[in-house]
C-alpha cells in the first residue's frame, strides 16, 4: 500500500516547522524560572552562600551560582531577602491515618473507613504538608489496601499537586501486627493493614507482596508483642528488600529486638525510644539510621497515650545521647493526629521543639530534614540539595533556620518539581 503524505507542499512544510519552533521556544521560556536568592543554605555543609541565582527549567535545577545569567524571558522570582534551602523531608509519616485517640480507635478505623476514604484523606494531608515546606514524605504503612500508593501515583501523574510520596505498603509484622487482644471470634482483621509473617519464608513472601503492589520501601514492626523478630527473620527481610533496591525501616523500641534489627542490617530503626547507649553505639558502628519520631508531650496527650510524660522525657534523653554518640539521624514525625487549629504539616514542625530541647544544633536538625533523609530514602541523586540536575524542590524562610530552627515554621515560598505552590509576600 502506498503511503499518503501528510505534508502536501514545501510551503506548508516550512509553515509547520516555523510554528513548531515558535511553540517550542514559547513553552521553554514559560517553563524557565530564575530565583534571585539572598542567602542560599547548603544543609549538607551547614553553610550559607550570599546573592545566588537558581535557574529552574521544567522540573529541574539547571544552574545555580553567584554569577549565573538570568535567561532572557525567564520568570524572575525575587527571594533576595530570604533564606532559601531544599524542601524538607519527613521519613516517617502516615498520611492516610488520622484521629487516633480522639474519636476513633485503630480498630474503628479498620472497620469504618474504606480504602478510598483513606486515599482521599491521604491526598488532603499530603497537600497540607506540602504547604508547610515538606516536599517529600515517606509513608510507612497503615494505609488500608495500599491507599498511599494511589495518592503517590495520582500526584506523579499530575492529577493533583502534592509532595513526593514514597510508600512502604502494608506493615509486615509477627502475628497480630500492631493490634492486641482482638477476640479470636473476629478473626485476623488486622490483615487489612498488616501482613502476618512468622518465619523467614513468610517474611520473604511478605516483602515480595509489598513490592508487587508498588512499595518503594519496606516497613516491619518488630516488637509489638512479647514475641519479636529473630535475627534471621530481619536478615531475610533486608536481603529480599535490598535485592530489589528498597530500604528497610523497622519499628522497634529497644532491647534484644532492637539488637536483632541493627545486626540484621535494617537501614533504619524507627522510634527507638528505649535504646541504650550500647545499642546506639552499635547503630553508629553499623551505620544504622535513627528515625526517632520524637513526639512532643502535647502530641502524645492528644492521642490519649498513657505514657505521655515518661516517653516524652525518654525521647529527649535518647535524642541527646544519639547525637552525642554520633548516630546518623533522619527526621521522622509519625504524626497521626491534629491539635485544634493545626494541620498535619504544622504538627510535624512541632517536633522542632523536641530537637531544640535536646540541644541539637539547628544545622544538624536541618540536615536530618534534607540531605540525611534523602540518603536514607535512597533519593539523594534526585532530591535533598539545591544543585544542578536535581529536582527543583525549593523552600524559603524570612529568617535563618541555622540561627533558629523555629524559622522553619515560617516557610513563605514552596516550589515543588519546578512549580510554585506557595509564595507569600
Q: Which residues sit at the interface with Zn ion, rule CB under 5 A?
A: 334
Phi, psi (degrees; rounded to nearest 5) at 142: 60, 55
Buried b (16+ CB within 10 A) or exposed e, 243-281: eeebbbbbbbbbeebbbbbbebbbbbbbbbbebeeebbe
Minimum distance from CB of 142 to Zn ion (Å)?
7
Identify whether the C-beta of residue 61 lies closer than 8 Å to the C-beta of residue 70.
no
Minimum distance from CB of 81 to Zn ion (Å)?
38
Cell triple for 114? 474504606
Residue nearest to Zn ion (CB): 334
Q: For residue 219, what are the β-bridge partners?
A: 249
- Residue among 141 and 163 whose Cβ is closer to Zn ion: 141
Cell triple for 231? 535475627
- Residue among 297 and 334 whose Cβ is closer to Zn ion: 334
Minimum distance from CB of 59 to Zn ion (Å)?
30
Among 96, 157, 156, smallest CA distance to 126 is for 96
Residues 6+ apart with CB under 8 A from 88: 133, 134, 135, 136, 331, 369, 370, 395, 408
Task: Provide the angle, in degrees to the nearest 10, between the axes of the packed helices 255-263 and 277-286.
Answer: 10
**Virtual CA dihedral for 64, 65, 70, 76, nearest 10 degrees?**
70
- Residue among 90 and 128 whose Cβ is closer to Zn ion: 90
Minimum distance from CB of 166 to Zn ion (Å)?
14
- Residue among 128 and 393 whose Cβ is closer to Zn ion: 128
Minimum distance from CB of 116 to Zn ion (Å)?
22
- Residue among 133 and 332 whose Cβ is closer to Zn ion: 332
Minimum distance from CB of 221 to Zn ion (Å)?
9
- Residue among 39 and 138 whose Cβ is closer to Zn ion: 138
Amino acid at each position: 500500500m502506498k503511503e499518503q503524505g501528510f505534508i502536501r507542499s514545501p510551503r506548508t512544510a516550512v509553515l509547520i516547522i516555523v510554528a513548531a519552533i515558535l511553540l517550542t521556544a514559547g513553552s521553554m521560556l514559560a517553563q524557565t524560572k530564575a530565583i534571585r536568592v539572598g542567602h542560599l543554605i547548603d544543609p549538607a555543609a551547614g553553610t550559607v552562600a550570599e546573592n545566588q541565582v537558581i535557574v529552574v527549567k521544567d522540573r529541574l535545577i539547571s544552574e545555580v551560582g553567584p554569577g549565573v545569567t538570568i535567561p532572557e524571558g525567564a520568570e524572575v522570582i525575587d527571594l533576595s531577602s530570604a533564606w532559601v534551602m531544599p524542601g524538607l523531608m519527613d521519613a516517617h509519616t502516615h498520611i492516610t491515618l488520622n484521629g487516633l485517640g480522639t474519636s476513633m480507635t485503630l480498630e474503628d478505623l479498620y472497620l469504618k473507613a474504606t480504602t478510598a476514604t483513606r486515599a482521599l484523606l491521604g491526598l488532603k494531608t499530603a497537600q497540607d504538608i506540602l504547604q508547610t515546606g515538606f516536599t517529600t514524605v515517606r509513608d510507612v504503612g497503615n494505609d488500608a489496601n495500599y491507599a498511599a500508593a494511589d495518592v503517590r501515583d495520582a500526584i506523579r501523574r499530575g492529577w493533583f499537586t502534592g509532595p513526593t510520596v514514597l510508600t512502604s505498603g502494608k506493615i509486615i509484622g509477627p502475628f497480630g501486627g500492631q493490634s492486641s487482644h482482638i477476640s479470636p471470634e473476629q478473626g485476623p482483621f488486622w490483615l487489612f493493614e498488616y501482613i502476618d509473617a512468622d518465619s523467614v519464608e513468610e517474611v520473604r513472601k511478605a516483602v515480595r507482596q509489598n513490592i508487587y503492589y508498588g512499595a518503594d520501601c519496606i516497613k516491619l514492626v518488630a516488637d509489638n508483642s512479647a514475641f519479636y523478630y529473630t535475627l534471621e527473620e530481619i536478615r531475610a527481610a533486608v536481603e529480599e528488600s535490598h535485592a530489589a533496591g528498597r530500604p528497610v525501616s523497622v519499628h522497634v523500641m529497644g532491647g534484644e529486638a532492637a539488637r536483632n534489627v541493627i545486626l540484621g542490617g535494617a537501614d533504619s530503626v524507627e522510634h527507638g525510644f528505649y535504646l541504650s547507649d550500647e545499642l546506639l553505639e552499635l547503630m553508629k558502628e553499623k551505620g544504622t539510621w535513627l528515625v526517632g519520631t520524637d513526639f512532643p508531650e502535647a502530641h502524645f496527650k492528644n492521642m490519649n497515650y498513657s505514657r505521655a510524660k515518661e516517653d516524652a522525657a525518654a525521647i529527649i534523653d535518647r535524642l541527646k545521647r544519639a547525637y552525642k554518640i554520633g548516630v546518623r539521624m533522619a527526621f521522622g514525625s509519625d504524626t497521626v493526629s491534629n491539635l485544634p487549629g493545626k494541620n498535619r504539616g504544622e504538627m510535624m514542625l512541632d517536633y522542632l521543639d523536641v530537637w531544640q530541647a535536646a540541644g541539637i544544633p539547628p544545622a544538624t536538625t536541618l540536615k536530618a530534614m534534607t540531605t540525611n533523609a534523602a540518603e536514607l530514602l535512597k533519593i539523594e541523586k534526585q532530591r535533598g540539595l539545591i544543585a544542578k540536575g536535581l529536582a527543583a524542590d525549593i523552600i524559603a524562610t524570612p529568617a535563618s533556620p541555622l540561627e533558629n530552627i523555629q524559622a522553619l515554621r515560617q516557610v513563605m515560598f514552596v516550589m515543588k518539581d519546578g512549580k510554585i505552590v506557595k509564595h507569600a509576600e
